[in-house]
Structure 1
């Protein structure tokens, strides 16, 4: 499986680099050190950075390097990643982590507390159960789900800030950061670019899109929101400045069993996929929290808008499986159509 996975990454990365090279040659006949555009395949998706300003080339490469390091550390499918080492040591011993991995897990637990466990990074055993069921073209039994749910509890994770260690106290527990790692990586890249004095940038990791200021010409960055029922169509645009737009959806990643679609977002309360809402878009200041919140609202649905309305500088758009739209209090004035 890993061999096919690595081959797919290599092929897609090569295609991205070829397209990027063509774009740079076509659009920038005199490449400047003040412009950087780079793409890689990380976190199982396309990652792209565009940066403008003095030293943008060096700053962009450094930011991309940070994202690459995070991907390597948090890849649960890699035998030598930090996250794999942590999961393998569950029930046995604490595991020392790099600063970034430790802080990412710390942020994931903060998100879990904020959402009262609807976002739960210890959902790993449940993810594995449904992945196995998908590969066998079947569905987990209620008893299998019940046994796995016992292992899902973010409150059990033990962090030691002084030693930078993490411990999963129960054998079989595992952390899966797929619902927050892309956002954290975008946030770290944005921070790195800001520290380098970059005046204009956009960083993309899948559905998580962070920005610095506006485009170089002063016009706003525009992020389109797809229509889940017609993915080639845009229902509107947001114009983030020093903000992030994050969209999670069930309409692109799912499997069908016995004539029913099952999305990839799992509800840690029920142990089953959530299918009532097709997509959720979050507009906020933190790419990390945007990633976790978009997953949370796909599970909670309109109930989650109460949470969003209580958070500063945060807006949300939910689209259900029938195409109906539900917005937080302040989004209507920000959504351009």
Structure 2
């Protein structure tokens, strides 16, 4: 019988806690999705306190980043007049610098400023097919050349450049939660925020990657000792326009929905990195995504797609020995340099995306081998 998933994209199974360790599980609604927290500590009271503090950190990130909240800090940035310089909080400056650097690292396949494209396609209100001139205008406006970030100062250079947190918000919030947990007396935790999983401390987790054909069934499992796992796929959140099914993941280079090939999962030590790369590498497509990851050993990528003979999972070499096929018709292959792949621009090999001085428009270990 197929194994079932309780969540849309990812499920997690904690390794049993060691003797003398208490474990608590909490569930919250935040950032328009569900947060599932499992925290280990020496006693239950300590674990509960740590879980509550982690949840508060994510709630604070939502107040900072959500453009669904009119008075959030990011909403205020989007409303600022063209050319006006704003001073950002340290956390938002960090978040936006990392998101803009992710765009540079992926050659523009990820873009933090796609809010105009989201509006043009009406992705938040059921979908519409925009006119060609609308697509072109929103695509040009989404370019990172249209924003200037220098330290904690930011200015939009065109009115059409609008930050959209959907590709980096959950990762940034998980980074905050992990930093908070590290300041508590908890010993380990697993956090699942709307399908993105982060593992911290003395915990090992099996993260399940869903079958893109049937999202409540498991295709394969990844054993993870730390870091974060994020998945992007079009099947769950697509839109239908004039009887045509379109994906919700937009390609900022063309201004149109990206091709639906299945799903793409990224493992990275940093949650923010995993979040933005899951989107950007999905836009690149399977072959180019795997080629991109092959030159960056600390990043692990898994592509799951349907073929005439069943499911195929293509994975980067870093994940060898960490993945286990679950679906009966799944073939698992590990690739290093796929053929016919054009390598996107190189990026530094640091473990996180870091800004380099004034940013116009303005990495990672821990997958268990045991």
TM-score range, shorter chain: 0.7 to 0.9
Note if 1:274 corresponds to 2:265: no
> Which residue in 1 is equivalent to 2:149?
159
> Which residue in 1 is equivalent to 2:69?
78
1:276 to partner: Cα distance: 3.2
Per the alignment, in what secondary structure is the counterpart of residue 324 of structure 2? coil
Does structure 2 retain, via aligned residues, the 8 Å contact 1:92–1:171? no
Does structure 1 retain, via aligned residues, the 8 Å contact 2:106–2:281? no
> Which residue in 2 is equivalent to 1:20?
none
Residues 133/56 of structure 1: CA separation in 2 closer, same or farther (3 Å cut): closer
Residues 95/44 of structure 1: CA separation in 2 closer, same or farther (3 Å cut): same
Does structure 2 retain, via aligned residues, the 8 Å contact 1:209–1:246? yes
Note if 1:331 corresponds to 2:327: no
Does structure 1 retain, via aligned residues, the 8 Å contact 2:209–2:221? yes
Residues 325/72 of structure 1: CA separation in 2 closer, same or farther (3 Å cut): same
Note if 1:318 corresponds to 2:318: no
1:71 to partner: Cα distance: 0.5
Residues 63/152 of structure 1: CA separation in 2 closer, same or farther (3 Å cut): same
1:35 to partner: Cα distance: 4.2
1:158 to partner: Cα distance: 1.6
Does structure 2 retain, via aligned residues, the 8 Å contact 1:226–1:235? yes
**Counterpart Cα distance in 2 of 1:275 and 1:261:** 11
Residues 277/165 of structure 1: CA separation in 2 closer, same or farther (3 Å cut): same
1:214 to partner: Cα distance: 4.7
In structure 1, runs of 5+ residues without a counterpart are 1-31
Residues 90/34 of structure 1: CA separation in 2 closer, same or farther (3 Å cut): farther
Kindly indicate whether structure 1 or structure 2 has the higher relative contact order, using CA contacts under 8 Å at least 6 residues apart. 2
Q: TM-score, normalised by structure 2?
A: 0.76
**Corresponding residue to 1:198 among 168, 171, 186:** 186
**Counterpart Cα distance in 2 of 1:165 and 1:239:** 40
> Which residue in 1 is equivalent to 2:226?
242
Q: Residues 250-279 of structure 1: CA distance to partner in whole angstroms, max 9, x if unpaired?
A: 110011123321111100011001123221
> Which residue in 1 is equivalent to 2:90?
99
**Which has the larger share of helix?**
1
Does structure 2 retain, via aligned residues, the 8 Å contact 1:94–1:167? yes
1:62 to partner: Cα distance: 1.5
Q: TM-score, normalised by structure 1?
A: 0.83
> Which residue in 1 is equivalent to 2:129?
139
Aligned residues between the structures: 299
**Which has the larger share of strand?**
2
Does structure 2 retain, via aligned residues, the 8 Å contact 1:37–1:49? yes
> Which residue in 1 is equivalent to 2:102?
111
